[in-house]
Copies of this chain bind each other. A is one copy, B any other.
Amino acid sequence: MSDEQQYLMLPGPTPVPGNVLRALSTPMINHRGPQFKELIEEVTEGVKKVYQTQNHVVTFPSAGTGAMEAAVVNFISPGDRVLSVSIGVFGDRFAKIARAFGAEVEQIEFPWGEAADAEAVGARLAEDRNHEIKVILVTHNETSTGVVNDIKAIRQAAEDHPALLIVDAVSSLGAIEVKTDEWNLDVVVSGSQKAFMIPPGLSFLAISPRALQVAEKCTSSRYYWDIKSAVEYLEKGQTPYTPAISLYYGLRESLRMMQAEGMEKTFARHALYRDMVRGGIQAMGLRLLADDKVASSSLTAVVAPENIGANRIRSHIQENFDVIMAGGQQKLNDIIFRIGHLGHVRCLDLLAVLAALEITLVELGMDIELGRGVKRAQEILAKGR
């Protein structure tokens, strides 16, 4: 089957809607002219709505990891003590980037598949009476395990500790609610290729006024990621260097789609997808990595039967049904597979994918009844839509 007909069930890149794909083909314009000014202004306003923020939001031509690096080099000075809350690969990555730039990183880790305990984070901060901790790094949606952290609870647990709260919302923003202003989040990082439904290559950073002040005094070396420069140029409707113009055209289109659907409905749709997939998987007799209470609306991590292994399931379903699922990363390799269900996913696609998974499991020797998982997901869909 051709590329065009794959079921791309990754936690990113996610499927790009046809009208967005076509918008990518818009001819180039002058990035220092009035047309680009209009474009970046519309897009920035749209992204701010998704962030639920009045803060500055800047865009970088980069992967989401680039915006994570920007969140480190603008707000953390070498030698600063950083409390990194990690529940998986991307939490570890944030800590790793901070260490690479000279931060003294103290990591609070929770078992992969579980969420961070906000109280434990609060207790650690309460101990820090001299306010040596300057920054808290935390992942909102951990893409490696399909677990969502309760950012609001973590913010509350921090009480009046003055550390900046920096949140990686790359795989949540737009699929799972993030109330940047109401939750008082200082820096929130996101990327284009997840819930924003456009190809990879654009990243976003929302920056509170307090964080901007910290950036003024931050001694980390930076040029490309300098947010002061990005904010200044944005006021002129420009970027400090050439922007990824085609992705702005795509984003304009996808933001219009998101606005037309309405954010509440978008979040509810993603939660329904989560419930359909989880219900279907459980009805097949497979185990879910994450508990219901902390399960992500963006993706679901499934524990493969030990005697089959996750990677055989992924190969089989890809070769036979063109369903592309993600594997487990690092210590979860071959143990879990991950089904992405964020962005431009249709509910019937999920039924199709569950059906393919059932056939795959039977063909790989598992004794299950075809249709049970699909039926469960259908029931959840019929009830929830």
CB distance from A232 to the nearest CB of B (A): 16
- Cβ of A62 within 8 Å of any chain B Cβ, yes or no, is yes
Contacts of A246 in B (CB 8 A): 24, 199, 201, 246-247
Q: How far is the CA of A372 from the CA of B63 in the complex (A)?
A: 50
- Closest chain B residue, CB of each to CB of A25: B21
A111 interfacial by beta-carbon distance below 8 Å: no
Q: Is A309 an interface position by the 8 A CB rule? A: no
A14 within 8 A of B: yes
Stretch at the interface among A115-123, A221-229, A266-274: A221-229
Number of interface residues of A (CB under 8 A): 56
Nearest B residue (CB) for A221? B101
A61 proximity list for chain B (CB < 8 A) = 61-63, 66, 200-201
Q: Check: A302 CB closer than 8 A to any chain B CB.
A: no
Q: How far is the CB of A225 from chain B (nearest CB, A)?
A: 8
CB distance from A193 to the nearest CB of B (A): 6
**What residues of B have a CB within 8 angstroms of the CB of A223 in the complex?**
65, 69, 96-97, 100-101
CB contacts under 8 Å to B, within A1-58, are 3-4, 6, 8, 10, 12-16, 21-22, 24-33, 35
A317 at the interface (CB under 8 A from B): no
Question: Is A374 an interface position by the 8 A CB rule?
Answer: no
Number of copies of this protein chain within its complex: 2
**Chain B nearest CB: distance from A74 CB in Å?**
13
> Using Cβ atoms and an 8 Å threshold, which residues of chain B touch A286?
none
Smallest distance from the beta carbon of A352 to chain B beta carbons, Å? Answer: 17
Q: Which of A208-223 contact B (CB under 8 A)?
A: 220-223
Q: Which interface residue of A15, A22, A200 has the most chain B CB atoms within 10 A?
A: A200
Cβ-closest 10 pairs across A and B: A201-B244, A65-B241, A21-B25, A13-B28, A200-B242, A199-B246, A24-B24, A63-B241, A100-B223, A69-B224
* With A15-B28, A24-B25, A30-B324 already in contact, 10 other A-B pairs whose C-beta atoms are closer than 8 Å: A13-B30, A16-B27, A21-B25, A61-B201, A62-B66, A62-B224, A63-B242, A64-B241, A65-B223, A246-B246
